[in-house]
Amino acid sequence: MKKVKIFHQPNCPFCKMAFKYIDELKEEHPEFKDIVFETINELEEPELADTFDYYYVPTFYVDGEKVHEGGIYKPEVEKLLKQVMGKE
């Protein structure tokens, strides 16, 4: 199973929405519950965040590859999670 690393900030509205969409999609697609998410608050771990190439949050990395950066909506999150599961 591929791992998803998410860089975020606690007050970012798009980050909050992304986490909400992930929770909703886990309920709609139980197979998504098996995906391993590593969430990194870039304000608490700036040294780690600085080792990655991105400017906007939320930013998603799958197995070390950046797959999305910036504002994201539910259909995009669903597509990303299906790709992680190998279903798209």
Domain boundaries, the chain: 3-84
CATH number of the domain at 3-84, please? 3.40.30.10
The strand pairing partners of 41, in sequence order, are 8
* Mean pLDDT over the full length of the chain: 95
pLDDT reading at 65 higher than 90: yes
**Using an 8 Å Cβ cutoff, are 36 and 4 in contact?**
yes
Q: Name the band, by pLDDT with cuts 50, 70 and 90, for residue 1.
A: low
Name the DSSP class of 38: E
pLDDT at 87 exceeding the cut of 90: no
Report CA-CA distances (Å) from 65 to 12, 24, 26, 29: 22, 24, 22, 24
What average pLDDT does range 45-54 have in this prediction? 96
- Confidence (pLDDT) at 88: 64
Q: What is the pTM of this model?
A: 0.92
Element (H, E) at 83: helix 74-84
